[in-house]
Amino acid sequence: MTAETRPVTVLFEADKLILELHHDAEGAYHAFPGASSRAADAPRVALSLEEALHARIRPAGTAETVLRAWAKGTAPQGPVALVDPAAVPPVRVRAGAVVIREGAVLLIRFEEDGGPLYEIPGGGVEEGETPEEAVLRELGEETGLGGTVGPRIARVWKDGRHEHYFLVSATGEVGPPETLDNYGGTPVWVPVDRLPATPLWPRRLSWRIEHWHRTGWPERPAELADSITELGPVCGW
């Protein structure tokens, strides 16, 4: 993902992850010691696993590696490779619409040999478009719905893509299949509480949508690298 090879440092104290605290235009974010060049004297904070799962931690690729291992009981310590997908120009920019009605989220289902797979409605941002414009265009093409764009809830880096996910207050009803352009998929409503066990990509976003729906949407977009290829196993990190 990045040409940089310098390591960052993973530190734990009393089962908490030690990170630097920084700020940007959107507010607070955290960085592994040695990952940021902004301030050598940045304050440090200690986060539990639960806190770290909902924090903006940079670089996102290194955070994915550390959180995956920590959640599975084998947290690394010491030097770890810096993996920063945000430092590389994306091969594609995608915008996705998170539409929830009456406790169910709208997904596109694809029938595969191994069983159904799901994705969040959306698609590529065209030249001259903003992600906000693209998400409504793609929602209309894939489902027939219109709507109003709400807050951006997540940025996801996956397979060289930079993906933006927005809450969308949708209007209308799902259109007839022959009028939709969704690459052979089928728009379906899935209960939000089933998302953690639903084979949905990006996998690291699925359980977070269920969590946010119960507890409140994030004040700032989550920043997630997602290298998961097996959608069957439940992901809680």
CA dist., res. 60 & res. 82, Å (int): 9
Q: 203: closest CA among 100, 67, 75?
A: 67
**pLDDT for 40:** 66
Q: 10: closest CA among 53, 62, 50?
A: 62
Rg (CA), the chain: 18
The CATH code of domain 92-225 reads 3.90.79.10
Measured between its terminal Cα atoms, the distance across the chain in Å is 21
**pLDDT for 35:** 75
Tokens 């590529």 sit on residue: 124
pTM for this model (two decimals): 0.94
201 contacts: CB under 8 Å, gap ≥ 6: 117, 118, 119, 158, 226, 228, 231
147 Rama class: left (phi>0) / alpha (psi -120 to 50) / beta: left
Query: Which residue stretches of 54-160 are H helix?
Result: 60-71, 131-143
Query: What is the residue extent of each domain of the chain?
Result: 7-85, 92-225
pLDDT in 10s for each residue of the chain, 237 residues: 444 546 888 999 999 999 999 999 999 999 998 776 665 689 999 999 999 999 999 999 999 999 999 999 998 888 998 999 999 999 999 999 999 999 999 999 999 888 999 999 999 999 999 999 999 999 999 999 999 999 999 999 999 999 999 999 999 999 999 999 999 999 999 999 999 999 999 999 999 999 999 999 999 999 999 999 999 899 999
